[in-house]
Amino acid sequence: MSVALQHLVNQPYKHGFVTKIESDTAPKGLSEDTIRMVSSKKNEPAWLLDFRLEAYRRWLNMTAPAWQNVHYPEIDFQAISYYSAPKSKKKLASMDEVDPELLRTFEKLGVPMHERAALAGVAVDVIFDSVSVATTYKEKLAEVGIIFCSFSEAVHNHPELIKQYLGTVVPPGDNFYAALNSAVFTDGSFCFIPKGVKCPMDLSTYFRINTEESGQFERTLIVAEEGASVSYLEGCTAPRFDTNQLHAAVVELVALDNADIKYSTVQNWYAGDENGIGGIYNFVTKRGLARGRNSRISWTQVETGSAITWKYPSCILRGENSVGEFYSVAVTNNYQQADTGTKMVHIGANTRSTIVSKGIAAGHSNSSYRGLVRMTPTATNARNYSQCDSMLIGNKCGAHTFPYIQVKNNSAHVEHEASTSKIGEDQLFYFAQRGIDAEEAVSMIINGFCKEVFQQLPMEFAVEATKLLSLKLEGSVG
Amino acid sequence: MNTLIKNVSFQEWISSWNSGKITAPEHSTNYLDQLRTNAVNHIAALKFPSTRDEEWRFTDITPLKHAAFKQPSAATELTASDLTQYFIDESVIRIVFVDGQYMPGLSSTAAQHGVTIDSLSKLVATDISAVTQHLGQIAEYHNNAFVALNTAFMQEGVGIVISENIVVDAPIHVLFVATQQEVTACPRCLLVVGAGSRITLVEEYLALTDCAYTTNAVIEAQLADSANVNHIRLQRESREAFHIANTSVQIAHAASYQSISIALGAQISRFDQHISLADQHAQCSIDGLTLISDQQLADTHTWIDHIKPQATSRQLHKCIADGSAHAVFSGKIIVRPDAQQTDARQMNRNLLLSDKASIDTKPQLEIFADDVKCSHGATIGQLDADALFYLQSRGLNLASARNLLTYAFGAEVIDFIPVDSVKQQLADLILAKTRIH
Amino acid sequence: MIRADSSILLEVHDLHANVEDTEILKGLNLTVKRGEIHAIMGLNGSGKSTFAKVLAGHPAYRMTGGEILFNGMDITSLAPEERARAGLFLAFQYPVEIPGVANDQFLRLAYNTVQRQRGKEELDPLEFDDFVREKMKLLDMNPGFLDRSVNEGFSGGEKKRNEILQMALLEPMLAVLDETDSGLDIDALRIVAKGVNQLASQDNALILVTHYQRLLDYIEPDYVHVMEAGRIIKTSGKELALELEAHGYDWISGDKTRASGVQP
C-alpha cells in the first residue's frame, strides 16, 4: 500500500470532565443488606424489595456469560458502589433549585434542562450517576395523560403500572447482568402513553456517570397502550477515568395493539484512551415486546463510546402483524470492543422484522455483529430481512458477523446478507482528483455507508450522530 | 496394524474416557502407535459434545452417546456382484471397505511410479515417510472429540500419495459399505497430492442394511503448489445410522480444491470440513447439498481459513428439509491479518418442504484484514409461489410443479459434479426423493 | 526561469516513472499550449495510461526523473487534490464505484471545493441542482443519475458520461481523457464527443489518450503522438491517426528516427 491508510488520531473525548459535587455514595460491595439499604433509601414498597431480593438470589447462582466475542478481566462485583446520588438538602420545587454545578454540567454537555432553553420541544429526564435529577415538560405531557418521570417517582405515584409491567419483558433471572440490574437498579425513566395518544414531542433521557467507583444500573420501562405512539431518545456520557465503570442497564418496552415505540440511542460513554486504559463496560439488556396486533417496535442505535459494548436490543413479535426493526451503527477505534446486534423472535403470524447493521472498526478494535432471527412454529408467513455490513480501516482491527437463523415454520421467509467494504486507495484518489481531500472523502464515504441507519434517527440526533462519527474517525485515514 | 485398544463399544469408550479409565498403550517407537497413544491420552481432556457447546448447539447427539456399538469382529463376506451396481463407470481404481474393514478382493489399487493409491496399512508398509509427515498433522484432534476418537481407534483406511506433475484422470472411488448393525467404523484417509498433480476422488458411504451403526471418518488432505483436487462426497448411510465425518484440507500456493458434498442418509449426521488456504493464490470451492426427510438430522459445519493473501473461496450450501427433518448449517470464513486481497463468497439457501421441518443456519465472517472482498448470505423459504403458479398456468398440476422446482433447487449443486455417471445417478436419486408420494 | 510564453499550459521534460520497481515511462517529452487538442496513441502497455495517472499524481506511480510544469508551476510535489484544484482533470478509464455516496452530493462537494479555490461563489443544494441539471442536458443524461451512488451499478457508457459531466462542472484548464471512448457505443460516443467539443476553448487544452482512431473522428486533434515503451516516438498532425488506423502500429514502430516528442 503506497498510502498509509492507518494513521490513527484520537479526537480527545469532549465529555471527560468530572463534576465536583457532593454525593451520597454507598460503601462498596454487594449483599442483601446493600439491596435493603438501596431500597430503604428510596423508600420502596415491600413488593419491590422482594423483586430485588429474588433477582439477587438468582444472580448468585449465575455465572457471567463468556460466549461473546469480547475480552476483559473478571469484574469484582464487591469493588463497586451500588448507589451514588448528588446530595440535595431538600425536595426540589422547581428546576431553578437544582444545584447550579449540576446545571452547568448539563449545559456543558449540551443537555437542555431549562424548559425555556430547550430546543425543539424535547422532554428530558436526566440521570446523574444513579438517580434522576430532573424531568422537563412533565406537566405539559400530563395534560394528554402521558406519564414521563423518573422510575423512583413512578414507583410511588404509579405503583400499579410498575407492578403490572416491571420484569414482564426482561424477567429478573433473564441473564447475569439483567439479574444484577434487577437486584440493584437505582433509578431510570418511566414512560406511559395511554390509549390512543400520540406523544406530542420526543421524550429523552440523558445518562451521566460521574463517580469513579460507582456502577450505573438504571431501569427504563416504556409502555404504549392501544394505538399510542412515542419516540424516545437516549444519550450517555461519562468522565475519563483510568478505571473501568460498569453500566448494566435494563430497558423494557411494551407495545399493545396498534402501538408504536421508536427508541433511539446515541451512546457515547467514555471509551478509554488510545492504549485501551479506562472506559465504560456497557453491558445492557434491551428488549421490546410487541404484544398487540399491528404493534411496532423500532430500535435505532449509534454506538461510538464504551470500552466494551455488549448489547442486543431485541423484539419479541408476539402480536399478529407486529413489526420489529433494528438499525445500528457501531464504530470502534483504538482498543474498543463491541459485540452488538439484535434478536428478532417471531411468534405471531405475519410478523415482519428488518435488521440493518453497520460496523466500522479502526485502530486495534474489534466489532462484532451477533444476531438471532427465530421463526417459531406459530409465525406463519413471517418475514425477516437482515443486512450486516462492515467496514475496516487499517488491518489491526477485526470485523465479525455471527448471525443465527432458526426457522421452524415453512411459510416463513428469512434473508440475510453481509458484506465488507473498505475505504480504498482508488476511491480516495478518485475524490482527490476532483479536488476533495482525504478527510472529507472519508467522512462522505462513512456517512454514505451509515445512511440507512442515520435516516431512522430524529433530526437533531442524526446531526449529532454524524458529527460524532466524523470526530471519532477524524484522521484515521490519510 | 496393531490394535492398541481392546474392542470396546462406543458407549464404553465414552464412559471410560469420562471416568479417565482409558489407559494409553505402552510406549512404542512406531509413529502410528505413538499418534494413537497421544490421542488416547488427550481424550481425557475432551468432553463428549453436548448442545451446550457452541459448535453442537443445534445437534443433539445423545442417541449416539447411548449407542453400544463395537468395532465389528469380522466383515460380512461380499462378492463383487453384490456391489457392481454401485461402482462408477469411469473409475478404474477402487478401494472398498465393508463395515470398516478393507476388502482387497473387491478393490483395485494402483501402485506405479509416483502413485500410491491403496489401503492405509499398505501405505504404512511402503511409504512410511509420507505417513509420518502428514498423518495426524492436518486433522487437528486437540479440540475435536471425534477426530481424537478416530485417531485413537483408527485401524484401517485409505492412503493416496501422488508425487509431482502426475494427472490421474479417472476418478478414484473410495467406497465404504455398511452391512452389520450396531458396529462402529473409524476409517482414516490420507491424501497427499504433489505439486502440479491432479486427481478426482469420490468418497462414498453406502448401506446394504436398514440398521443402526456408526461411522466416524476422518480425511486429511495436503495439496502442494498448483495441485488440483476434485473431491465428491456422497453420504447415503442407512436411515438409522450415525455418521460423523471430518475432512481437513491444506492448500498450498496456487493449488485448487473443489468439493461437492451430498448428504442424504443417516439418522444423525455431522460433517465438519476445515479448509486452510495456506498460501497465496490458493483456491477452494466447497459446495454442498443436504436433502433429508422424516426424523433425520443433518449438520454441516465448515471453516474456511484465509491465511495468506490473494486466496479465493467460494461456497454454495443448500438444504432441503421435508417431514420433521432438521438441517443445520454453520459456515465460518476467517480472514487473517495477512490475508489481504482475499476474495471470499458464501451462500446458504434452504428450502423447507413441510411445516414440521426446521433449519438452523449460522453463516459467519471473521475478518481481520481490510483490503478484502467478503460476502455471505443466507435465505430460508419455500418454493416461489409465482414460479409455481407459472408452471401451473402452463398445465402442470401442483404436485409436478412442486417436484420440478424442488428438483431444480437441488440440481444446482449436483450440476457441479465433474463425474458424469455420479452426476446422473444423483440426479435420478434426487428426482426420486423430491417427488411427492 | 521566467517563462515568456504564457500560452504554454503543460511542459513535460524527460519524464521517468515506475510502478513498484518496473520503469514504465522512460523519458517522455510533451508540450501543450492553450487552445490545443492532443491525442496520445499507442498499443496497450506503451505507457499512455500511466502517463495520465502520473500527471494526476496517482500514489501507486512513482516519478523517478524529469519534470512536469503545469501553468508554469512545478507540480511534482503537489498532492492529487492540489493538482485537481489547480485545474488538472483526469477522466478515468475505469471510474471507481463509491457505494453509499450519492452522486449529487459528491458532484456538489467537488464543484464547491474548486469554486472556493478559485475565489468563486459556492452553490447550495438547490442552486446546484438547477446548475447540474443544465449541464446534464449537454450530455443527454437522465437526472436520475443524481440520486444514485457514485458510479455504482452504472454501465460503462454511463460511467464515462458521468466523467465528462464532472469535467463540465469543474471547468479544468487541462483535461486528460483516458480511453474515454472505450465502452461507448457509437451514439454515446457522439454525445460524449459533442460535450467535450463544447467544453474546449482557446483558454484550455485537452489530451486524449486512446487506442483507436474512432474518438478522433469526433474530436479533432491538432497533434497526434504515438507512444511506445514509455516514450513518444512520433508526433504529427491528425492525419497520423488515420495512417495508424490503416496500417497498424507496426508500420511506425520500426521507424524510430522520426521520434521527437516535440511537435514541429
Domain ranges of chain A: 23-473
If contacts are CB pairs under 8 Å, which of residues 228-287 in chain B contact chain A? none
Name the DSSP letter for residue B237: -
Q: Span C126-150, mean pLDDT? A: 90
Contacts of A379 in chain B (CB under 8 A): none
* Residue found under cell 488520531: A9
B382 and A410 within 8 Å at the Cβ level: the answer is: yes
pLDDT at position B279: 95
Contacts of B358 in chain A (CB under 8 A): 406-408
Give Cβ neighbours of residue C22 (< 8 Å, ≥ 6 apart).
Answer: none
Q: How confident is the model at residue C70 (pLDDT cuts 50, 70, 90)?
A: very high
Alpha carbons A426 and A431: distance in angstroms, whole number: 9
Overall number of domains in chain C: 1
Nearest-Cα residue of chain A relative to residue B371: A422
- Over chain B (437 residues), the average pLDDT of each successive run of 10 is 47 57 51 84 81 90 81 83 92 93 92 91 90 93 91 89 93 96 91 95 96 95 95 97 97 95 96 97 96 96 96 96 96 93 93 93 90 88 83 82 89 93 91 72
* Inter-CA distances, C100 with A142, A355, A450, C44, Å: 43, 18, 8, 33
Alpha carbons B73 and B106: distance in angstroms, whole number: 19
**Coil, strand or helix: which one is B159?**
strand
A437 and C170 within 8 Å at the Cβ level: the answer is: no
**CA-wise closest residue to C158 among C143, C145, C171:** C145
Where in B278-311 does DSSP place strands (E)?
A: 283-292, 297-306
Distance of residue C23 Cα from the nearest chain A Cα, in angstroms:
16
Query: Widest CA span of chain A, in angstroms?
Result: 70
Nearest-Cα residue of chain B relative to residue A66: B54
pLDDT at position A324: 98
How remote is the C-alpha of A151 from its chain's centroid? 17
Where in A320-412 does DSSP place strands (E)?
A: 323-332, 337-346, 352-362, 366-375, 383-393, 398-407
Alpha carbons A218 and A207: distance in angstroms, whole number: 9
Whether residue A404 lies within 8 A of chain B, CB to CB, comes out as yes
How remote is the C-alpha of B42 from its chain's centroid? 24
C-alpha cell at C141: 443524461
Single-letter residue type at B392: Q
A449 and C99 within 8 Å at the Cβ level: the answer is: yes
C-alpha cell at A450: 451509515
Q: Mean pLDDT highest for which of B384-393, C102-111, C253-262? A: C102-111
If contacts are CB pairs under 8 Å, which of residues 424-443 in chain A contact chain B? 424
First to last CA, chain A: 12
How remote is the C-alpha of B125 from its chain's centroid? 26
Chain A interface mutation, best of C94, C98, C105, C114, highest count of A Cβ atoms under 10 Å:
C98
C114 and A435 within 8 Å at the Cβ level: the answer is: yes
Query: Do C91 and C165 contact (CB within 8 A), yes or no?
Result: no
* Residue found under cell 407495545: A255
Alpha carbons A109 and A113: distance in angstroms, whole number: 11
pLDDT at position A374: 96
C89 and A433 within 8 Å at the Cβ level: the answer is: yes
pLDDT at position A111: 56
Alpha carbons B337 and B324: distance in angstroms, whole number: 42
B378 and A394 within 8 Å at the Cβ level: the answer is: no
A400 and B365 within 8 Å at the Cβ level: the answer is: yes
Give Cβ neighbours of residue B98 (< 8 Å, ≥ 6 apart).
Answer: B75, B76, B78, B106, B177, B178, B179
- Domain limits, chain B: 10-279, 383-437
Burial of C182 (0-12, 13-18, 19+ CB in 10 A): middle
C263 assigned to some structural domain: no
Chain A interface mutation, best of B360, B370, B371, B373, highest count of A Cβ atoms under 10 Å:
B370
First to last CA, chain B: 48
Contacts of B361 in chain A (CB under 8 A): 404-405
DSSP string over C132-154: HHHHHHHTT--GGGGGSEETTT-
C-alpha cell at B93: 481404481
C-alpha cell at B27: 510406549
pLDDT at position A1: 25
* Inter-CA distances, A351 with A33, A240, A321, A327, Å: 45, 43, 5, 17
A418 and B376 within 8 Å at the Cβ level: the answer is: yes
| Segment C170-200, tens digit of pLDDT | 999 999 999 988 877 788 888 889 989 999 9
C-alpha cell at B15: 464412559
C-alpha cell at A269: 460513554
Whether residue C147 lies within 8 A of chain A, CB to CB, comes out as no
pLDDT at position B26: 45
Give Cβ neighbours of residue C88 (< 8 Å, ≥ 6 apart).
Answer: C55, C56, C70, C75, C172, C173, C174, C176
Q: How confident is the model at residue C155 (pLDDT cuts 50, 70, 90)?
A: confident
* This prediction's pTM: 0.80
Strand order in the sheet with C88-91: C88-91, C174-178, C205-210, C37-42, C223-228, C231-236
Alpha carbons B60 and B270: distance in angstroms, whole number: 11
DSSP string over B313-326: EEEEEEEEE-TT-E
The CA dihedral of A43, A45, A47, A50, to the nearest 10 degrees, is 20
Total Cβ atoms within 10 A of residue A60? 11
**CA-wise closest residue to C38 among C13, C61, C10, C66:** C10
Q: Which residues of B158-177 are buried (b: 16+ CB within 10 A; e: fewer)?
A: bbbbbbeebebebbbbbbbb
Alpha carbons C196 and C111: distance in angstroms, whole number: 18
Alpha carbons A388 and C100: distance in angstroms, whole number: 14
Contacts of C148 in chain A (CB under 8 A): none
| Segment A310-326, tens digit of pLDDT | 999 999 999 999 999 99
The answer, yes or no, to whether residue C151 has pLDDT greater than 70, is yes
Whether residue B211 lies within 8 A of chain A, CB to CB, comes out as no
Query: Do B177 and B148 contact (CB within 8 A), yes or no?
Result: no
If contacts are CB pairs under 8 Å, which of residues 96-115 in chain C contact chain A? 96, 98-102, 105-106, 109-110, 113-114
Phi, psi (degrees; rounded to nearest 5) at A295: -80, 165
Whether residue B343 lies within 8 A of chain A, CB to CB, comes out as no
C1 assigned to some structural domain: no
C129 assigned to some structural domain: yes
Phi, psi (degrees; rounded to nearest 5) at A289: -110, 110
Handedness of CA A64, A67, A70, A72 (dihedral sign): positive
Distance of residue B224 Cα from the nearest chain A Cα, in angstroms:
28
pLDDT at position B28: 47
Contacts of A410 in chain B (CB under 8 A): 352-355, 357, 382
Query: Do C21 and C64 contact (CB within 8 A), yes or no?
Result: no
Nearest-Cα residue of chain A relative to residue C89: A433
C26 assigned to some structural domain: yes
Alpha carbons B137 and A100: distance in angstroms, whole number: 70
Give Cβ neighbours of residue C107 (< 8 Å, ≥ 6 apart).
Answer: C128, C132, C146, C165, C166, C169
Query: Do A225 and A261 contact (CB within 8 A), yes or no?
Result: no
Distance of residue C249 Cα from the nearest chain A Cα, in angstroms:
31
Positions of chain A with pLDDT lower than 50, given as ranges: 1-11, 89-93, 115-121, 478
Alpha carbons B135 and B190: distance in angstroms, whole number: 7
Contacts of B382 in chain A (CB under 8 A): 410-411, 413
Residue among B362, B365, B377 minimizing CB distance to A404: B362
